[in-house]
A and B are shown apart, each in its own frame.
Chain A
Amino acid sequence: MTLWRKYTSIVLWGGLVAASFWVLLLLQHRVEAIQEERAAQSELLYVPDWRVLHGLALGDDATAADLLWIRSVFYISAQRFHDAYHEYLGVPHHHHGHHHEKVHHHNHKLDHKDIHRTDSKRPVEQIPDSVDFLELDFRKHPLLQGSLYWNIGSEDGRYLYRMLDIVTRLDPHFITPYVQGAMNLALMAGRYEEALDLLEKGTVEQPDRWEMPYYRGFIRLFFQNNKVGAVEDIQDAALKPDAPIIVVQLAAALQIGIGRRDLAVRYLRTIYEITEDEKLKTKIRDMLRVYGGGPKAGTTARKPQVGKMLDSLLVEQ
């Protein structure tokens, strides 16, 4: 009898606990469904001021920056996955920066209203056409086209910028948020000025890094059609200590692209003088021969093997 009572009690209590968990799960779903509507914005909006985070970090600001950066990555990735998912399904989808449209897709379910409401992809005409002089039709490039198709909307981009600003204030030496953050601000949200500001801040904090001026040049060239500004930035990047050879080559090629062969030659000679990198010196010697600064100017016999992209950049004006 006692044993029977004991087992009954275990079953009853066990059942009660299981039922309570079930109710908790239901509640959880309910609360999350309410939260979902504002989650994307609020998760960024309610990030405290950087001074507060600095206080909470108790001196380990870099760790706080890491965690906040990971949160930004989640946000960026969620948006990318969200779009990529619809692209994979062949379901056209546009954000237009309207948050309520995105809410329908958080559970990755198809919303038929969206299928009828939006057209297939961003029209090709809307993609900035700023690289014609390079004879590179980047509109046909699937990766770049895909990048332009990822769109978090300008408003959400504002929150992303705020988050990136906090991350870089907490850890000014953390390079990835400047570069990746700026590129995502530009590509996904079309917030070019903020992207440039972020990279400028990175340049001030890290004056010896080539990445910041390089990506500034990239944004100016591809999105703002500012060829001269882009050349200045990429040239600046090429002068940094650890700049890869391709940056030097690109800077020279861009100068040719804007019709300043003289500048390109002078610039390459300057780099040749200051660099101690023998590999780079060899490359520059080859480039100078092609650009007219060397003994065999204009010949194709010693044309540098710098890849297809540079070859296409070297087309005469």
Chain B
Amino acid sequence: MAGLNRIWAVAQTTFRETIRNKILLHMVGFAVAMLGLAWVVSNWSIGEPDKIITDLGLTITVLIGVLIALFAGIVLVYGEVERGTILPILAKPLPRWEFVLGKFIGFSGAVLLVYVGMNLILILLLAAVGRPITPHLWQAMYLSIWEIELVVALALLFSSFSNPSLSALYTIMLYVAGRFSFDIKLFIDSNPLAPSRPILEVVYGVIPHLSYFNLRQAAVHTLDIPWERVVWPTVYGVLYCGVVLIIAALAFRSRDLA
């Protein structure tokens, strides 16, 4: 119970710090501007403007969420170490893994808040243009949360043992690879004799399969989305975040902060 309280205390502090972060404010402003632009661009189409605004809107909200997770996430632990504020925190009876978990929960909450806010604006925009708000849309928005959460976890992992530049590079690399996971699988399946196949299989096994969380096209065209398509990616997302956080905690535990 005491452990939970400690984690909660770290989470609350991290949440407040993140909300006050200027990057977040700028990104929110940028997101609102981009959603406005999406509305303008959708009106340039000869037909199906509501389809275009939904497409662009869903992509923009996810990308902004990912950018916030990336730029604010890579300094999450590094910033504390650099400023020296980590030392009085860890001087208290707070295991390092609790600190990492608290950071993740607090930061995730802040990013989630922003993401939900952006999606509410998008929903209002869609309602204004007469687009029906179908369950498909909620499903797509929900799964995108896990895409952002995975980026949060990865940024936190790299932030726990590396500097911001390298953390950003590693996170972006994994993010791009994760977005390509479906194509990597296609390549492996269609080229059984390729010399690069064993390497690609390892890569495919390790990278986050972010394509699992992309239901945006299905949502826009209101295609059938079976429940397994939402449930299993959620389970995958929870497990992947868990594994990344364990590695982050291990990396941070072995780090010399003196």
Interface residues of A (CB under 8 A from B): 55, 58-63, 66-67, 69-70, 73-74, 76, 171, 173-176, 179-180
B47 with A176: CB separation less than 8 A: yes
Q: Which residues of B contact A175 (CB under 8 A)?
A: 47-48
Interface residue from A55, A73, A176 paired with B44 (Cβ < 8 Å):
A73
Residue B238 interfacial (CB < 8 Å): no
Let me know if A171 and B217 touch, CB within 8 A.
Answer: yes
- Docked CA distance A174–B223 (Å): 12
With A55-B180, A55-B183, A60-B214 given, name 5 new contacts (CB 8 A): A58-B179, A59-B211, A66-B45, A73-B44, A176-B48
Query: Which of A60, A171, A173, A175 is most buried by chain B, counting CB atoms within 10 A of its CB?
Result: A60
Interface centre among A70, A171, A175 (most CB of B within 10 A): A70
Given A66-B52, A66-B56, A173-B223, the answer on whether A61 and B217 have CB atoms closer than 8 Å is: yes
What is the bound-complex CA distance between A63 and B55, given in angstroms? Answer: 6
What residues of chain B lie closer than 8 Å to A61, measured between beta carbons?
Answer: 217
Given contacts A173-B223, A174-B48, A175-B47, contact A62 B179 (CB under 8 A): no
Minimum C-beta distance from A150 to chain B (A): 14
The 6 tightest CB contacts between A and B, nearest first, are A176-B47, A58-B179, A173-B221, A63-B59, A62-B217, A66-B52
Q: How far is the CA of A173 from the CA of B45 in the complex (A)?
A: 16
Query: Could you tell me which residues of chain B, from 39 to 74, have a CB within 8 Å of some CB in chain A?
Result: 41, 44-48, 51-52, 55-56, 59
How many residue pairs at the A-B interface have CB separations less than 8 Å? 59
Q: With A70-B52, A174-B51 in contact, do A62 and B46 touch (Cβ < 8 Å)?
A: no
Q: How far is the CB of B93 from chain A (nearest CB, A)?
A: 44
Give the contacts of B165-191 with A (CB-CB under 8 A): 176, 179-180, 182-183
Can you list 11 A-B pairs with a CB-CB distance of less than 8 A? Answer: A59-B180, A59-B211, A60-B55, A62-B217, A66-B52, A69-B52, A70-B52, A173-B220, A173-B221, A176-B45, A180-B47
Q: Is B216 an interface residue (CB 8 A)?
A: yes
B46 touches A73 (CB 8 A): yes
**Inter-chain contacts of A174 with B (CB < 8 A):** 48, 51
Q: Contacts A62-B217, A173-B221 given: A74-B182 contact, CB under 8 Å? A: no
* Complex Cα spacing A180 to B44, Å: 14
Is the beta-carbon distance between B176 and A70 smaller than 8 angstroms? no
- Say yes or no: A179 contacts B47, CB within 8 Å: yes
Q: Are B41 and A70 in contact (CB under 8 A)?
A: yes
B210 contacts partner chain A, Cβ-Cβ < 8 Å: yes
Complex interface: chain A residues within 8 A of B183 (CB): 55
Chain A positions within 8 Å of B223 at CB level: 173
Contact in complex: A69, B216 (CB < 8 Å): no
